[in-house]
Structure formats: C-alpha cells, structure tokens
Amino acid sequence: LRTRRGPLLWFEGLLFLYAVAALWAGWLLRDGGLWLFHGMLALGFGAVFSLSLLHSMRLSR
C-alpha cells in the first residue's frame, strides 16, 4: 500500500504516537491540569489524524 503522501502520513503517525505517550504520561503523573492538557492534545491529534486519513482514503478511491 503506497500513497503519494508517504512522509506526511509518517509524520501524522508520529504525532499520534506522541499524543498517546503524552496521555499516558499525564495519567501516570495524575496532575489534574497536566492530564487535561495532554488529553486535549491527544484528542486534537487524533481528530487531525483521523480526518486526514479519511481524506486520503477518499482521494485514493
């Protein structure tokens, strides 16, 4: 499965992994503000990732 936007998809994957790691770190630290911040960050990255994934799937069709 090769896409034209290879590097961009790789970058988005990295952002997604970072968001998951940040959420996990926030949960471990259990600092209310930090957890909320990382949660919002993870939600934002997840939304961007899924939207771009949907967009690329629509383009490939």
In the structure, what pLDDT confidence band is assigned to residue 52 with cuts at 50, 70 and 90? confident
pTM: 0.43
Tens digit of each residue's pLDDT (9 = 90 or more) over 26-42: 677 766 667 777 778 77
CB atoms within 10 A of CB 44: 12
pLDDT for the residue numbered 1 = 45
Residue 37 lies in a domain: yes
Are 52 and 60 in contact by the 8 Å Cβ rule? The answer is: no
Contacts of 49 (CB under 8 A, 6+ apart): 12, 13, 15, 16
Total number of domains constituting the chain: 1
Residues of the domain holding 56: 14-60
pLDDT for the residue numbered 34 = 72
Query: For the residues 8-37, what does the mean pLDDT come to?
Result: 74
> Is residue 56 scored above 50 in pLDDT?
yes
Residue 49 lies in a domain: yes
* Cα first-last separation, the chain: 13
